[in-house]
Amino acid sequence: MGIRFVLMVNKQGQTRLAQYYEWLTLEERRALEGEIVRKCLARTEQQCSFVEHRNYKIVYRRYASLFFLVGVDNDENELAILEFIHLLVETMDRHFGNVCELDIMFHLEKAHFMLEEMVMNGCIVETSKANILAPIQLMDKTS
């Protein structure tokens, strides 16, 4: 299904956003996030952004204090996923203006909303920032 999950984790390893595209129990999620965070956060800047974990790959990228981790199937294009992460960050940047960890903490539902505009069933369905943000901006205006 392409993308299996999207995680945002801060430097301390606390999850700031978790979006799964397959059903996992709370315990499975807790274990998975623990393992992945341990694996990825230990890596240095000079190392590549791809980690194999269980039967899938994790593509991650660090922006300031926040790690964006995306779990994908093995035949997914790693570079495209990196671009996807970048697109996500840019989109949030455009909406929040210089997005930071706090923005995501306090507006988690919006971050989820953007993500849902971009990805359905693990497939990327929308890649235009304007299109992604259109509904959310409309909602902001009406409320």
Partner 1 sequence: MAGASLMDTLFQRSLEDLIKGMRQQLIGEPAFISKAMEEIRREIKSTDLSTKSTALLKLSYLSSLHFHDMSFADFHALEVLSSPRFAHKMIAYHAISLSFHDATPVLLLITNHLRKDLTSTNEYEVSLSLQCLSKIANVDLARDLTPEIFTLLSTSKVCVRKKAIGVVLRVFWKYPDAVRVCFKRLVENLENSDPQMVSAVVGVFCELASKDPRSYLPLAPEFYRILVDSRNNWVLIKVLKIFARLAPLEPRLAEKVVEPICDHMRRTVAKSLLFECVRTIVNSLSEYESAVKLAVVKIQEFLLDDDPNLKYLGLRALSTVAEKHLWAVLENKEIVIKSLSDVDPNIKVESLRLVMKMVSESNVAEISRVLLNYALKSGPEFCNKILASILSTCSRNVYEIIVDFDWYASLLGEMSRIPHCQKGEEIENQLIDIGMRVKDVRPKLAHVCRGLLIDPALLGNQFLHRILSAAAWVSGEYVEFSRNPFELVEALLQPRTILLLPAIRAIYIQSAFKVLTFCLHTYLLQNKGTTFSSWSDTLLPGVLSSDFYESLADLSVGNGPSVTVTPGHVSPSSLERNDLSYEYIVNMLNLVELAFGPLSGSNDVEIQDRAQNVLGFIDLIREKVLNSSVQKGNVSEGKDVEVADIVELMHHAFSEELGPVSISAQERVPLPDGLILKENLVDLEAICGDIGLPSSNSFPFESTSYKEEVGNSLSNLEIKEGLEQLNESTSLLAEHRKRHGLYYLPSDKSETISNDYPLANDPMSQDNATDDTNDLLKLAEQSFVPRRKSSHTKPRPVVVKLDNGDEIPIASRKSEPKDDSLSDAVRDVLLGSEAIIRTSSQSNLSDKPPNKRKGKEKQHRDIHEELKENLVDDRNPSSRRSRHRRHGKERRQRSPRKKNAEEGGDNGQKEKQKSSHPHGRHRQRADEPSNVAGQTSEVPDFLL
Number of residues lying near partner 1 (CB under 8 A) = 51
Residue 109 touching partner 1 (CB under 8 A): yes
User: Which tokens sit at 135?
Assistant: 């509904």
Residues 28, 32, 35, CA angle at the centre, nearest 5°?
Answer: 140
Binders of partner 1 in range 32-61 (CB under 8 A)? 43-44, 46-52
Q: Which stretch of DSSP H or E encloses residue 68? A: strand 66-72
Phi, psi of 82 (to 5 degrees): -60, -40
First-last CA distance in the chain = 35
Q: Which is nearer to partner 1, 14 or 65 (CB)?
A: 14
**3-10, strands of its sheet edge to edge:** 15-20, 3-10, 66-72, 56-63, 50-53
> Segment contacting partner 1 (CB under 8 A): 62-70, 88-96, 116-124?
116-124
Residue corresponding to tokens 């059903």? 23
User: Which tokens sit at 29?
Assistant: 């999620």
The Cα 142–Cα 81 span in angstroms is 33
CB of 12 to partner 1, least distance (A): 13
CB of 97 to partner 1, least distance (A): 18
Q: Which is nearer to partner 1, 81 or 92 (CB)?
A: 81
Q: Which is nearer to partner 1, 40 or 92 (CB)?
A: 40
User: In the complex, which residues of this chain contact partner 1 (CB under 8 A)?
Assistant: 1-2, 14-18, 21, 23, 26-27, 29-30, 43-44, 46-52, 75, 77-80, 82-83, 105-106, 108-109, 112-113, 116, 120-128, 131, 134-135, 138-139, 143
